[in-house]
Amino acid sequence: MDKFEKLTAIAAPMPLINIDTDMIIPKQFLKTIKRSGLGVSAFYEMRYDMDGNENPDFVLNQDAYRDASILVAGDNFGCGSSREHAPWALLDFGIKCVISTSFADIFFNNCFKNGILPIVVTPDQLAILMDDAQKGSNARMVVDLENQVVESSDGVQIPFDVDPHRKHCLLNGLDDIGLTMEKAGAIEAFETQMAEARPWV
């Protein structure tokens, strides 16, 4: 998992509420267990028409936001079924941070495990960031995880909270396997001790 330290990027405004995991990655794309290749199908039903052509009205199809790495979204982002493919699709598309007033719990947890930073802000703070995101590609936000602050393109700083353990994992690029490997020495010592104490096992 890549480290997340400071992100300076284009932010795409997506003010819809209740964007669920089926909207993020529809069920027909859940056949794979690979984390790569899902980005092309992210927000599929909003991005494409029935013939597979891009919908020019969808924000991520617009030239100003094709390279966005931040989503500024409406309430209750990531609700619905508990599919881990949703953060996989976002990350493969290039989204590394989602800012909203609230997230579904399972989606929220899955983001951290896959290298995406979900940030919870107040409605007033979201309005500031949503307005900033609507300026297009000339307006870049800065997300500073170490100092726990989002800075708008015109310098407005908005602090955010993050669990210290999850912050540690993102800053160091540690998923569940990475966390386990941090204890490799202790695991090997235990296995050696157990082999000596119980050689018949």
Nearest to 148 by CA among 119, 173, 175: 119
**Residue 126 pLDDT:** 98
Q: 80: which DSSP letter?
A: S
Contacts of 178 (CB under 8 A, 6+ apart): 1, 169, 172
Tokens for 37? Answer: 């290749």
Interatomic CA distance for residues 157 and 68, integer angstroms? 20
Q: Give the three-state DSSP class for 116.
A: coil
**Residue 93 pLDDT:** 96
Q: What are phi and psi of 191, to 5 degrees?
A: -65, -40
Domain boundaries, the chain: 6-197
**Residue 181 pLDDT:** 64
Place of tokens 């089926």: 22
**What number does CATH give the domain 6-197?**
3.20.19.10
Q: What are phi and psi of 104, to 5 degrees?
A: -70, 140
**Could you read off the pLDDT tens digit of each residue along the chain, which spans 201 residues?**
899 999 999 999 999 999 999 999 999 888 877 778 899 999 999 999 999 999 999 999 999 999 999 999 999 999 998 789 999 999 999 999 999 999 999 999 999 999 999 999 999 999 999 999 999 988 899 999 999 999 999 999 999 999 999 999 999 998 766 666 666 677 777 777 777 788 876
Output the CA torsion 132→44→84→119 (10° steps): 10
Task: Go through the chain and tell me how many residues it has.
Answer: 201
Nearest to 11 by CA among 198, 146, 153: 153
